[in-house]
A and B are shown apart, each in its own frame.
Chain A
């Protein structure tokens, strides 16, 4: 069976800047993978290559066997199956919470208004913001906005979810509520790739952790092994700083 995501010898340059260098990795269905590494090491870029927001300079990215990096591939159909959650939420400010959730399913899944509303309500309930369904994003706290953003991605019933530092722009007291939602999602068996600086969360929830530094995949392994006994000197130095 095809892996949920397979990255083959991926390199990415922005002009002269080499951001990813020959990165290869795979994510199995149902697996939760956390990506850690210093700022600027290419974590976001790696994640964005996985749904085609960035184009690979060389190498390939396959999502369930479909080459995202090929120009012939219809990215829109791939992206329907790949949810993405951003550091800065990116909710649609001119739409209510409910409308944020309903837009894509109604356009792309051919559901009726009632069906989308029911599905949205169930998801909002699940992430604990059902009482805000008719509010506009600017009326919500950061934590609530991020939970709505997660629900919005889930409303498309994606096969896998990408998270780019979902708690990094939150006030500390709101980090927990977002991580709790993500942990529950992981426990339900969702395939997830999570770029994060929350090492405690990674250790608790991830099946596997990737350590990225200067665009290279330096080391990967189960959290216990990687956090307790990193093989690489660079990993050790990074963990020494953040733990």
Chain B
């Protein structure tokens, strides 16, 4: 059963990595999957929160309502998620919030055996996706807000003067221009998200860091697993940065005034 040791450079036990190879691939898939889903959900949430924080209205009554129902809640939300550690948010989500919505006895959303099965099989994934998306949404909303505010007011005024609604002016005129300026910070955010996904290993999500921890536990060897995933994370972030730069070039047309 014992495989022969494979030593690289005289000290790196490559055979350990080889033995657990499927675990690392599985971890990579999970890391990439969770990151991609959370970038999409976080961007959508960030857009909505960003718009909520900029919301305004014409008549005094509607103005008060937008403040109370949109601006303030969004501001408090962003402040909370930026002002507390992501790690604590993940623990809170996993051990307090998710059980509230999903438990066999009296879940607000799902109860009974479905709840038990879901939490047993997908508990960590649910925690990971929800908490990373909620957290990313808070940061991305700031990027959207700054991006939208950086577009000259004359652009909105020209669009509205033609008769476009607020939504149409946003969608066709402001956001496409803002998005170009937002690409670099959005890229940084995606890279941060990729790295932060390792925190969810703490509640048992089988991603890269979890794979490394498993291997380290089995062999009491730390260099091999952690160096391996370090290189994998590094390659992923390089790839992501390259992709973002590509988008910047592609969508950079016509944006120099």
* Interface 0/1 of B165-190, CB less than 8 Å to A: 10010001100110010000000000
Q: How far is the CB of B202 from chain A (nearest CB, A)?
A: 43
Give 7 CB contacts A-B under 8 Å.
A75-B160, A76-B160, A90-B152, A92-B155, A103-B162, A104-B159, A136-B253
A93 contacts B162, C-beta separation under 8 Å: no
Other 13 A-B pairs with CB < 8 A, given A71-B58, A92-B155, A103-B164? A55-B58, A75-B160, A77-B163, A86-B158, A90-B152, A90-B154, A90-B158, A93-B256, A94-B254, A95-B254, A107-B164, A137-B257, A156-B162
Which residues of A (135-156) have their CB < 8 Å from a CB of B? 136-138, 149, 152-153, 156
- The yes or no answer to B59 lying at the interface (CB within 8 A) is yes
B256 contacts A104, C-beta separation under 8 Å: no
A82 contacts B161, C-beta separation under 8 Å: yes
Which residues of B (202-257) have their CB < 8 Å from a CB of A? 253-257
Complex contacts, B165 vs chain A, CB 8 Å: 76
B158 contacts A137, C-beta separation under 8 Å: no
Complex alpha-carbon distance, A67 and B163, angstroms: 16
Smallest Cβ-Cβ distance to B155: which chain A residue = A90
- The yes or no answer to B196 lying at the interface (CB within 8 A) is no
- The yes or no answer to A21 lying at the interface (CB within 8 A) is no
- The yes or no answer to A36 lying at the interface (CB within 8 A) is no
Complex contacts, B59 vs chain A, CB 8 Å: 71
- The yes or no answer to B19 lying at the interface (CB within 8 A) is no
Q: A93-B177, A94-B254, A138-B254 are in contact. Are A53 and B154 (CB under 8 A)?
A: no
Complex alpha-carbon distance, A75 and B163, angstroms: 8
A107 contacts B256, C-beta separation under 8 Å: no
Q: How far is the CB of B244 from chain A (nearest CB, A)?
A: 19
B161 contacts A53, C-beta separation under 8 Å: yes
B160 contacts A138, C-beta separation under 8 Å: no
Which residues of B (41-100) have their CB < 8 Å from a CB of A? 58-59, 62
- The interface of chain A, by Cβ under 8 A from chain B, is 51, 53, 55, 71, 75-77, 79-80, 82-84, 86, 88, 90-96, 103-104, 107-108, 136-138, 149, 152-153, 156
Complex alpha-carbon distance, A208 and B30, angstroms: 72
Complex contacts, B254 vs chain A, CB 8 Å: 93-96, 136-138
Of the candidates B58, B158, B177, B257, the one having the most CB atoms from chain A within 10 angstroms of its own CB is B158
- The yes or no answer to B157 lying at the interface (CB within 8 A) is yes
Of the candidates B158, B159, B161, B173, the one having the most CB atoms from chain A within 10 angstroms of its own CB is B161
B161 contacts A83, C-beta separation under 8 Å: yes
A90 contacts B257, C-beta separation under 8 Å: no
Smallest Cβ-Cβ distance to A156: which chain B residue = B162
Complex contacts, B163 vs chain A, CB 8 Å: 76-77, 79-80, 104, 108, 156
* Interface 0/1 of B139-164, CB less than 8 Å to A: 00000000000001011011111111
Complex contacts, A136 vs chain B, CB 8 Å: 253-254
Complex contacts, A88 vs chain B, CB 8 Å: 154
B164 contacts A90, C-beta separation under 8 Å: no
Smallest Cβ-Cβ distance to B176: which chain A residue = A94
A153 contacts B162, C-beta separation under 8 Å: yes
Complex alpha-carbon distance, A92 and B152, angstroms: 11
